[in-house]
Amino acid sequence: MTIDYAKVGLKAGLEIHQQLNTSAKLFCNCPPKLFTEEPTITFLRRLRPTQSELGQIDPAAFFEFQKGVKILYEANNETSCLVEMDEEPPHQLNPEALEIALLVGLLMNAKPIDEVYVMRKTVIDGSNTTGFQRTCVVAMDGEIMVKDKKIPIQHIGLEEDAARKTGEEGNVIRYRIDRLGIPLIEIATAPVIYSPKEAEEVALAIGRILRATGKVKRGLGSIRQDLNVSIPNGALIEIKGVQELELVSVVIEREVERQLNLIKIKEELQKRTIKKEELKEEFSNVTPVFQQTECKVIKTALSKGKQVFAVKLPKFTGLLKKELTTGIRLGSEMADRARFWGKVGGIFHTDELPAYGITKEETEKLKKTMNATDQDAVVFVADSKGNAFDALKAVAERAREALEGVPEETRAANPDGTTRYMRPRPGAARMYPETDVPPIQVKPEYLAQLRSQLPELPEQKMQRLMMDYALNEKLARQVLDSEYSQLFEVIVQNCGVSATTVAVALTETLKALKREGFAVENVSDEQFIELFRAVGSGELAKEAIPDVLGWLAKNETATVAQAVENLGLGTLKPEELERIIDDAIRDNAALVKERGTAAFGALMGIIMKQARGKAKAESVSELLKKKLKQFA
């Protein structure tokens, strides 16, 4: 679907959340790192929404409470303390994190706040043990230039990261609180972005400024982009958790497509002259229709004593299978709502039947039972009565929303760029003061000191990379945009390896390994330095770099020496390399006799299969040419 975004009237804003690389968490002295072993501490909680100072309850918080879930928290003593467990008040705001946030604000020409006040933001999905997230505004009214366009930065904030979800069993959700409290900087732009490509460019520009501080974490999950997307006649949709930069434009493209198709559905419903009051929450027990069914899902549910309940959606036939964007239909959105509100596995609807083992005869019998005409759709679920009724209420509500077009909501990003229903949009009642953390004055003399030590801006660094390290423009840009730009300079200055070799390894090689499924973010700075020291000293050929990095990605705590040993690498002695070349020439004597020195390319490929990672390609090439001349 080709879309003219200017004609459509797209408006988007970004909220960038980036973990800071500090020595401690935001409100305690625990190290900001994750643990992989089994937890040594667990505790169970049920979170409830509280009223604001005006007596209001935030709708998003109430939504989470309605799910009726309990949260099992996992921890260990190394990465968490009583602060994360909400058994002790928070300590003073981390001054190191505040300084980094202020530096970013100054780099973005923002006005620092005179006095920083920590606030509580209601969040009861379980990701915070307290039922709220602590957050504060550090600077406001900034701006950055992106391709000659001024992008206003509304605010720069500092907040604690949330706990990470590790599983779910029934109505119990498991969260690990090692990530809870890691300092997170939030940067919000004004909604002045008018195309998906521009959004990606703005996100990239902000990322460059953050990396310029040298104080941000890297790796999957360390940076998350939230998007606010709207079009005229549509709705403002907040999309959470876009982790890959390349997905920013894709998510916006698919959200605009989704909204345009929802508007078309609204127009079609208007033509069908359906009214809200016709979409009633009248649910029928249709279990007898499916007593002999071959549908595995329904058979399994019935065997557990569950039943099948249905709701009729008048004049909705054909619309539930209407594709909104790649792989997402109106029926999919109804299923999302049903899962959240009813805790059901999914829904069935007549637009997709017969299918899934449900026959044409069963479909006709279902319609007859529900008094449904050919213009009506029927949605049904197989579950307990309580769950089924909650799920079908959500379906009926989503059908009523379709009459209005696009419902305002918070959606979560999927890895393919589509989105799914997450929760209702939060209201204004979710923020209130944090009484346990005193405000912090930001004095003019402190700001003057920070201004005197601002890091170089991205474009300045770009020019320096080209001049100081003789990198071409493309490679310099790749280093600048990578998460390893600071590490690049450390390696080049200390390991005796050419800047180009290091740059290629940290950008193109890592990107290729990531595409192949290697978790390259697991390789530590120490392992990188150890690897390049081995290459610089001649202990390892540079051709071995991809193999060693791939092995280290799978073996996080291993050393480069262990990688070399396990991969059978290590530099060949001159006599060993000479033997390999002699063997290759002898084994391919007919080819060499026929082609002479022109056999070089074929022989080089044969030899490098044995020598790759163990000998420099230049050394192999030089010796092979010499041997071929002697043979001739």
Bond prior to 354 in cis (omega within 30° of 0): yes
| Distance of alpha carbon 15 from alpha carbon 224, whole angstroms | 8
Radius of gyration of the chain (CA): 30
Task: Please tell me the predicted confidence (pLDDT) of residue 88.
Answer: 95
Per-residue pLDDT band for 618 (boundaries 50, 70, 90) equals low
| Distance of alpha carbon 420 from alpha carbon 333, whole angstroms | 7
pLDDT tens-digit readout, 49-80 = 666 666 666 665 566 666 667 889 999 999 99
Beta sheet of 307-313, edge-to-edge order: 283-285, 307-313, 377-383, 348-349
| Distance of alpha carbon 413 from alpha carbon 224, whole angstroms | 11
Beta bridge partners of 228: 13, 238
| Distance of alpha carbon 609 from alpha carbon 413, whole angstroms | 43
> Would you state the structure tokens that stand for residue 68, as one six-digit string?
């009726």
Task: Please tell me the predicted confidence (pLDDT) of residue 63.
Answer: 62
Residue 284 φ then ψ, to 5°: -120, 145
CA angle 235, 237, 241 (to 5 degrees): 170
**Residue 537 pLDDT > 90, yes or no?**
no
pLDDT tens-digit readout, 278-302 = 999 999 999 999 999 999 999 999 9
Task: Please tell me the predicted confidence (pLDDT) of residue 57.
Answer: 65
Considering only 138-147, 295-304, 487-496, 588-597, which range has the smallest mean pLDDT? 588-597
| Distance of alpha carbon 576 from alpha carbon 589, whole angstroms | 20
**Residue 556 pLDDT > 90, yes or no?**
no
For 472, other C-beta atoms within 10 Å of its C-beta total 11
Per-residue pLDDT band for 432 (boundaries 50, 70, 90) equals confident
Task: Please tell me the predicted confidence (pLDDT) of residue 169.
Answer: 85
DSSP 234: S
Coil, strand or helix at 351? helix
Residue environment code for 140-158, b if the CB has 16+ CB neighbours within 10 A, otherwise e: bebebebeeeebbbbbbbb
> Would you state the structure tokens that stand for residue 1, as one six-digit string?
């679907």
Average of pLDDT values for 198-207? 94
Per-residue pLDDT band for 450 (boundaries 50, 70, 90) equals very high
| Distance of alpha carbon 109 from alpha carbon 354, whole angstroms | 61
Look at 578 and 524; give whichever has higher pLDDT.
524
Per-residue pLDDT band for 595 (boundaries 50, 70, 90) equals confident
CB–CB of 264/405 below 8 Å? no
Residue given tokens 């307290």 in the structure block: 130
Look at 110 and 584; give whichever has higher pLDDT.
110
How far, in whole angstroms, is CA 430 from its chain's centroid? 24
> Would you state the structure tokens that stand for residue 333, as one six-digit string?
């959105």
pLDDT tens-digit readout, 365-378 = 999 999 999 999 99
Coil, strand or helix at 384? coil
Question: Of 439, 442, 440, 432, nearest to 134 (Cα)?
Answer: 432
Residue 282 φ then ψ, to 5°: -110, 110
Residue 250 φ then ψ, to 5°: -65, -45
Helices and strands (DSSP H and E) totals, the chain: 22, 23
Average of pLDDT values for 566-573? 66
Q: In sequence order, which residues have a C-beta less than 8 Å from that of residue 624 and are 6 or more positions away?
A: 581, 600, 603, 604, 607
| Distance of alpha carbon 257 from alpha carbon 254, whole angstroms | 5
Task: Please tell me the predicted confidence (pLDDT) of residue 103.
Answer: 96
Task: Please tell me the predicted confidence (pLDDT) of residue 542.
Answer: 84
CA angle 223, 252, 13 (to 5 degrees): 65
List helix spans (H) across 431-558. 444-451, 458-469, 473-481, 485-495, 499-504, 510-515, 525-536, 545-554
Average of pLDDT values for 593-613? 69
CB–CB of 96/22 below 8 Å? yes
Using alpha carbons, list the distances in angstroms from residue 631 to 169, 521, 587, 628.
Answer: 71, 48, 13, 5
Task: Please tell me the predicted confidence (pLDDT) of residue 183.
Answer: 97
| Distance of alpha carbon 280 from alpha carbon 255, whole angstroms | 29
For 483, other C-beta atoms within 10 Å of its C-beta total 18
| Distance of alpha carbon 10 from alpha carbon 232, whole angstroms | 8
CB–CB of 260/51 below 8 Å? no
| Distance of alpha carbon 459 from alpha carbon 469, whole angstroms | 15
Hey, which CATH number is domain 271-404, 3.40.30.10, 3.30.1360.30, 3.40.50.300, 3.40.50.620? 3.30.1360.30
**Residue 2 pLDDT > 90, yes or no?**
no
CB–CB of 150/93 below 8 Å? no
> Would you state the structure tokens that stand for residue 157, as one six-digit string?
């904030």
- Amino acid letter for position 8: V
| Distance of alpha carbon 229 from alpha carbon 235, whole angstroms | 8
Sort residue 86 into left (φ over 0), alpha (ψ -120 to 50) or beta.
Answer: left
Look at 146 and 170; give whichever has higher pLDDT.
146
CB–CB of 119/431 below 8 Å? yes
Domain range annotation of the chain: 5-236, 271-404, 458-567, 574-631
| Distance of alpha carbon 227 from alpha carbon 15, whole angstroms | 6
Per-residue pLDDT band for 426 (boundaries 50, 70, 90) equals low
What is the model's pTM?
Answer: 0.82
Look at strands 307-313 and 183-189 and give their pairing.
Answer: unpaired
Task: Please tell me the predicted confidence (pLDDT) of residue 314.
Answer: 97
Task: Please tell me the predicted confidence (pLDDT) of residue 590.
Answer: 75
Coil, strand or helix at 42? strand
